[in-house]
Structure 1
């Protein structure tokens, strides 16, 4: 089926899954140019058809050119022995001039124009499809790169947090060891202090007992 300007105007392209695979303004401008060209070619074809139709319907005009017959040869004056009068030469047939025929429309031109329009539409479609595929591949590659980057950043952040937690754990374990050492030392010192106090009390009690006994006597 031949491509018409209305086909180009009503043509709609399917958008891609991720985003539109072409610049709508650029496509619309280009389609406007295609429509103008289609309409011009359609008008030219219509004018050629009308000229061809009018040329076929009108009978070919003919022009008849009458060539005057040559004048008859005058007879010689009558003498004793008259000469025979020569027969007049036959008049030449009238020349019929054919009117110039109407220029015929080359059907190959119309076929070539239609073929060119179809090739143009096919090329436009293939360009949009190729552009959509390229943008889709670019979006997929960008998505994969973004996912890989996010995963790498998450792993790096996790390793960093793990290192921080490990360092804090080591600090806490060191603090706990310090507290345990302090506890042992404190218990030892406290035990020594209490034992010293008890020994002093025992010594004081032993020294007071003889003094009390002598005072009673």
Structure 2
């Protein structure tokens, strides 16, 4: 009689679904706490209260506070990357494809203020925790490759400026989508302007998109 194969990994069924649901509750509570209070200000006790779990469960799934914080960073960046990679711009005209990617990035930051707060806080820590992540660079890499493909196709067709580096362009897209959000409160205080209103952000989106299109276009022939 043949011996049954030993199952590898956690058992399926209700218990596994419960484990996933518990981890998800912890992660969502941690995202809110770290986004609001930063790494130092967030408290495991508060996360446990919001997630309706005890501290033992947090340490069981995430080892320690730093492990939970890295999982939070991986999750919010992973969401951005996953949604970016859903964009099917493979058949799009190069300029249209690049501007579609920018539109998505701009919209994603607008919809996810927690991502802005978490990235701003992690930059103050000089990226020390994100550097320990194994998952984030692996997830991030295809995005720049897709931009590079669009750039090279556009360059070959003469519809995109030659010589643009894909990573530089991606950073420019993020900067145009991020800075006005991450600094909205201080800019509003300094200039007494309506930088926090949807109307201002919609106007800024149009201006940023126009600037990007002008930069991407090949220079006029002489």
TM value normalised by structure 1: 0.20
Q: Which has the higher contact order (CA 8 A, sep 6+)?
A: 1
Larger radius of gyration: 1
TM-score for the superposition, normalised by structure 2? 0.20
Q: Give the structure with the larger helix fraction.
A: 2
